[in-house]
């Protein structure tokens, strides 16, 4: 495929076109996208894949800009995929993000690309994983995926990266309770951002709170989740975070498991999609709506599909 060659040669326009292609939900683009990905796949796998999440306004974009420019100044090439769930509604937020990463976006060694989000909750689109692979094939040494901490997006991003970083605010100790607890199970590095000026004292306290709980939630004997103070605005701590990301490194076993889960996710959604279009299934839906036992109807249908094979 010609496009694949252009992407591998570092052609910017080709890269943008390739990502647009894998993002396309049109059925007739899918074949081409699959061919492209297969042509690129042998050239993937070499980048450090980093996910960055956190509540709106915690400083993700500012942090990525600081980290990205630092890496570029060291000769690395950095790609950023920014998933912006609010862009669907407001339309303005995308622009805002671009503006906030202006320095990085203008950096010749960097590439900043907003990602479409799927669904009303702002979930991460399945194509983000493929966009990440395209960036890798294009030769970026680090690929960063930014996602806002809403809906299922953290889990989706954690499942496509080597290191998942959570940014928390200086007053973030209360996030430790309740709903946010679930994310902590996915996190590899915690960053208390905005540790500057008047917020420094509070940030230190928050770091200590997270430190205690990261020891309590120890899920992997080989990796104690570090808690790092940083100020994306002033640039302090950014290098410390990068060192932790490097220390965490990549785990081939994790990547293999991620690829397998991507297979299952796609299989499940494709199978369900084709089942929904099946006339027997549609008839069964009507029967259940009319009062038949859904579990029995489902089992009978499944047995019938089994026989057809
Ligand atoms: N004091 C201080 N302010 C910061 C720091 N990092 C970011 N900010 C400010 O926090 C605000 C939000 O920063 P963003 O980087 O846009 O945050 P975000 O997490 O990307 O926000 P969304 O993409 O909207 O979810 C901006 O006004 C930043 O200037 C920091 O380290 N210290
Ligand atoms: Mg942002």
pLDDT tens readout for residues 103-150: 999 999 999 998 877 665 556 777 899 999 999 999 999 999 998 876
Q: Is the distance from CB of 115 to CB of 131 less than 8 angstroms?
A: yes
Q: Name the residue with the closest Cα to ligand 1, atom 7.
A: 59
Locate 297 and state its tokens: 């109807």
Give me the residues of the chain with pLDDT under 50, please. Answer: 87-96
Locate 294 and state its tokens: 């859904």
Taking the CA atoms of residue 110, residue 93, residue 115 and residue 57 in that order, the dihedral angle to the nearest 10 degrees is 80
Roughly how many angstroms between the first and final C-alpha of the chain, as a whole number?
35
Q: Which of 53, 54, 57, 167 to mutate to test the pocket of ligand 1 (most atoms within 8 A of CB)?
A: 57
Residue 93: predicted pLDDT: 47
Residue 91: predicted pLDDT: 42
Q: Phi-psi region for residue 117, left (φ > 0), alpha (ψ -120 to 50) or beta?
A: beta
Distance (Å, whole) CA 233 – CA 111: 21
Residue 178: predicted pLDDT: 55
What's the pTM value of the predicted model, to 2 decimals? 0.89
Ligand that comes closest to the CA of residue 167: 1
How many A from CA of 24 to the centre of ligand 1?
31
Whether 104 is in the pocket of ligand 1, judged by its Cβ within 6 Å, is no
Residue 116: predicted pLDDT: 75
Whether 62 is in the pocket of ligand 1, judged by its Cβ within 6 Å, is yes
Q: Name the residue with the closest Cα to ligand 1, atom 3.
A: 194
How many A from CA of 263 to the centre of ligand 2?
29
Q: Is the distance from CB of 156 to CB of 128 less than 8 angstroms?
A: yes
Distance (Å, whole) CA 106 – CA 100: 11
Residue 92: predicted pLDDT: 41
Q: Which of 56, 62, 67 to mutate to test the pocket of ligand 1 (most atoms within 8 A of CB)?
A: 62
Locate 121 and state its tokens: 């909750």
DSSP state of 177: S
> What is the enclosing helix (H) or strand (E) of 190?
strand 189-192
């Amino acid at each position: 495929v010609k496009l694949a060659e252009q992407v591998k040669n570092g052609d910017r326009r080709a890269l943008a076109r390739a990502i647009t292609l894998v993002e396309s939900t049109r059925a007739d683009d899918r074949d081409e996208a699959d061919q492209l990905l297969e042509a690129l796949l042998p050239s993937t796998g070499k980048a450090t894949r980093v996910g960055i999440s956190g509540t709106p306004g915690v400083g993700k974009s500012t942090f990525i800009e600081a980290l990205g420019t630092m890496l570029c100044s060291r000769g690395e090439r950095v790609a950023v995929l920014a998933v912006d769930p609010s862009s669907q509604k407001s339309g303005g937020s995308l622009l805002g993000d671009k503006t906030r990463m202006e320095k990085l976006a203008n950096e010749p060694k960097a590439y900043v690309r907003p990602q479409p989000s799927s669904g009303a909750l702002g979930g991460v689109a399945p194509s983000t994983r493929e966009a990440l692979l395209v960036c890798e094939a294009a030769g970026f040494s680090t690929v960063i995926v930014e996602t806002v901490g809403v809906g299922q997006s953290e889990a989706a991003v954690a499942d496509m990266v080597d290191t998942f970083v959570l940014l928390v605010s200086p007053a973030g100790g209360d996030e430790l309770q309740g709903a946010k607890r679930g994310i902590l199970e996915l996190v590899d590095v915690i960053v208390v951002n905005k540790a500057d000026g008047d917020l420094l004292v509070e940030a230190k306290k928050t770091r200590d709170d997270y430190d205690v709980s990261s020891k309590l939630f120890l899920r992997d004997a080989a990796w104690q989740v570090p808690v790092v103070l940083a100020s994306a605005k002033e640039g302090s701590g950014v290098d410390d975070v990068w060192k932790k990301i490097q220390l965490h490194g990549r785990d081939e076993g994790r990547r293999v498991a991620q690829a397998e889960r991507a297979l299952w996710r796609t299989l499940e959604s494709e199978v369900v999609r084709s089942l929904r279009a099946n006339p027997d299934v549609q008839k069964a839906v009507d029967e259940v709506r009319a009062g038949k036992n859904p579990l029995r109807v489902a089992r009978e249908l499944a047995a019938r599909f089994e026989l057809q094979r």
